[in-house]
Structure formats: structure tokens, C-alpha cells
Structure 1
Amino acid sequence: MSARPLIAIPARLSERASALRFRAEVNAYKLMEAVFEAGGEPMSVHPTRPVGDDEVRDRLHFADGVLLPGGGDLAARWAGQDTHASEYDVDEVQDAFDLAVARVAIEDGRPLLAICRGLQVVNVARGGDLIQDLPTPHRRVHVVGGLTVSCHHHQGIGRLGKGLRAIAHADDGTIEALTLDDHEGWFRGVQWHPEDTAGADPDQAALFEGLIRAGRSPRSW
């Protein structure tokens, strides 16, 4: 295992990026920095439409942990729902890859941190569904243990997937964080973006530190 645990992060597809001439694959600087500052080595992974989960499993062979980041909307059809007019930046190749990554990480017991869209991907991968458009995109979140954070997202967790349990809610009842009771490894899933303030907020940095700490443990897969 590397001195710095290798953390696989599916890249996001961008139509344009400064200094690049064409369509780009990117990950947010703040996200990569938060992983690095926690002691990990962030590794972007090229998203493709996988033939099956074993293909993704083979591609993640190097990873000591996985981080599913934020991004555009997950297509409604993956949860058996109707498309909503508010959907944006849907990319079905990205969807198929992220869903396979979520399934593989959970089935193999790999350490997994899921952020915003990433948490929604996990919920759908476990058979849950989404609220396609929340009436109030911004809310205050109350986390078990007394932590309060600010969160902004237009899609939300609907019916919970198998084994998932809510551990944070907004004042209006919206689910904002989940744990996974039957995951053999380490898992945390949040709707807010802890990378935004991890550099100054120990509570947010702790999410990345937990992922890296779990990534240093002996592999069970």
C-alpha cells in the first residue's frame, strides 16, 4: 500500500475548462486538496459506460478508498422515475460509471465517502429514489452530535435504499446525510460539500481524515 492511500475519484465531464482546448475531465481543486491534506493521494478515474461491475472492479484494483463527488443530476430513469423539467447536466455515461463504482465499493467493503450527487448515486444504487426538485434548495442541516452546516442542492434523497439510515436532517425534514448499516468497510455520505470549508473547519476535514484512516487499514477485498 502507498504511504499515501490512493483515493479513486470519478472525474467529471466539463464542456470547457481554462487552458484546455476541448471538452475536459475534471475534479474540483478543493476536493482534491481536502483528500491530499488529509493524507491521501487523490486519483481521478476516467468515466466510461462499463460492460459490467467486474470491469469497474478491475479498474479500481489500485484504490485504497473511493470518493464519489458532486456533479450534475442523476437521470431519473435509474430510479424508475419520470424526468423532471429541472434536470441539468445529465450524462448517462457518467451515471452508469458512478453507479457501478458505488455498487463495487459497497459490495467489496472498500472505504467510501459520498458527497452531494455521490450520496444520491449510492441511494439509487441501493434501490432508493430521489426527490427530483426540492422546493427550497438552501437549508440548514442538523447532524447527529450537534453539528450544524449549510447545504445547497436541488435534488434530494427520497425513498431510502437498502441498509441506508439517515443521520442528518434539515429543518424541513430533508435527509442530508446517511450511513450504511451493512457496509463491511467505512462509509459516510453527506449532501453538503465538506471540501468547501475543510481547510478551516476540523469537523469537515474529519470526513476526509476518516476516509484516509480507513484506507490505511489492511485490505479485505
Structure 2
Amino acid sequence: MTVLIGLSSYMEQAAMGLWDRPAAVLPRVYSDCVLGAGAAFVALPPQPASEDAVARVLDAVDALIITGGKDVDARLYGQDPHPDNDAPRPDRDAWEIALVRAAIARDLPFLGICRGLQILNVALGGTLIQHLPDVIGSNRYSYGGAVFADNPVLVEPGSRLAGIVGEQLTVKSYHHQALDRVADGLTVSARGDDGVVQAVDIDGMSFGVAVQWHPEESPDDLRLFAALVDAVEQRRAR
């Protein structure tokens, strides 16, 4: 049976032919990577996050990916927003936080990507560095202009992530925020050479991984997506 992966998506103003109106959208690179890993996908745009709606959605999928996107609202972790933050997307924040918490509760295989890592941390009570250049003194993780930066990542030996991608790799970055206080229930599995958190494992899950970089921007390396599919197949076998 084909593995079905839920991909969180955006609700943004979008021009399509004669129409320019709010639409559920997601860069194709995400779905291409899921398809390339041998799975099928369904998009999960923001919607009212009732307990029943979240349960029905997660009942229908075999795994969950929370994708990249706009900054998480700083007020969700008790801070005033930095001037350089994106305008809040409260509908998406609420929907994805509810999905993440429910996926962890049912041990649904999970992969967080960029914003997905930050949503995970906030959902579990952690905080974020709102503007990395204020802390590290450079924009090495986000050049702007839709240009992805190449950055080294050092993975903790023996971590779940190391078993997937090895202990050193170069990744595609596009983020001006990062994890600050890491939430209980998460274990840091990778950092940059400057100490910035680059990945976590979710404690107690059969497969729960979140990375700060954009693996979908390296379509010749599908290891994280393939590992998610493998986790579903192992879960079925159990």
C-alpha cells in the first residue's frame, strides 16, 4: 500500500491566470521529494484546528511533514515580535501546532522542515531566537532574495539523524530565526559550526526528526524523505 504523507501548506494571495485571490499553495519541490521517495502526498492548508478535525486528518495520513514558511508569531512564546519578523499567520500557527501535538501523541512519523522545526519547539514550550544576525553578527543563514545559503552542519554521533545523513553535511539554509530554549522532549541532534541548533530528535517517538535547513532544495538527496517513508513501513510491520 502506498505511503500517504500530509504536507502542511500555506494560505497566501496567489495569481493564477485571470484570478488573484487567496489560495492554498506549496512549492512543488516538497511534493516532488515525497514522490521521489516513493510516497503519495496530500496538502494540509490552514483550517480551524478543532480536535476532531485534526484527528480526522491524521487518521487519513501515514506521516506528517510540517514545511517551511513565515515566522512563528513571537507572542506564542511570550515575546514581542522583532521588527524584522514576518507578519503573523495565526491560522497557520494554530493549525500546525495542533497537528504537531496530535502527531506526537499518536507516534505518527514526523519530519519538520525549517519553520517546521520552530513550530515543533514552540508547540512543546520552547522559544526562538527571533533574528539571528543580532546574535551571530552575520546573515549567513539567510541572504534574502530567494537565494539559499550553503552552510555546514555537524550531526551528533549516534543520533537518529546521524544514521540517516551521516555526521557532517552541507545544507541549504534560508532562515533568520533559530531555536533558543529547546523544549522539554526534544534532543538536539545537529548544530552549525557556530553552535546554532540545526536539528532535533523528538524523544520517545519511533520517528520524529526536525531540521532547520531545506532538504527539499537538494532533490538529489532524498535521504530524509526516504527515512520517513521507511519509518511508516516499519510502523506497519509492527
Normalising by structure 1, we get a TM-score of 0.90
Quick check: 1:160 aligned with 2:160? Answer: no
Give distance in 2, aligned partners of 1:72 and 1:43.
Answer: 20
**Per the alignment, in what secondary structure is the counterpart of residue 22 of structure 1?**
strand
Counterpart position of 1:101: 99
* Total equivalences in the alignment: 212
- Could you list the runs of 5+ residues in structure 2 that have no partner in the other structure? 142-150, 156-166
- Could you list the runs of 5+ residues in structure 1 that have no partner in the other structure? none
Change (3 A) 1:65 1:35: same
Report how far residue 87 of structure 1 moved: 1.3
Quick check: 1:70 aligned with 2:68? Answer: yes
Normalising by structure 2, we get a TM-score of 0.83
**Per the alignment, in what secondary structure is the counterpart of residue 34 of structure 2?**
helix
Residue 87 of structure 1: which of 74, 85, 88 is its match?
A: 85
Report how far residue 217 of structure 1 moved: 3.2
Change (3 A) 1:107 1:137: farther
Report how far residue 59 of structure 1 moved: 2.2
Q: Please list the CA deviations of residues 69-91 of structure 1 after superposition, one character each: whole Å capped at 9, or x if unmatched.
A: 00101101111121111111421
CA contact (8 A) 1:141 1:151 kept: no
CA contact (8 A) 1:6 1:65 kept: yes
Counterpart position of 2:148: none
**Per the alignment, in what secondary structure is the counterpart of residue 43 of structure 1?**
strand
Report how far residue 54 of structure 1 moved: 4.1
Change (3 A) 1:207 1:112: same
Change (3 A) 1:103 1:219: farther
Counterpart position of 1:189: 210
Q: Structure 2 matches for 1:28-47, cutoff 5 A?
A: 28-47=27-46
**Per the alignment, in what secondary structure is the counterpart of residue 234 of structure 2?**
coil
**Per the alignment, in what secondary structure is the counterpart of residue 217 of structure 1?**
helix
Amino acid of the residue matched to residue 217 of structure 2? D
Q: Structure 2 matches for 1:123-162, cutoff 5 A?
A: 123-135=121-133, 136-139=138-141, 140-144=151-155, 145-162=167-184
Report how far residue 138 of structure 1 moved: 2.3
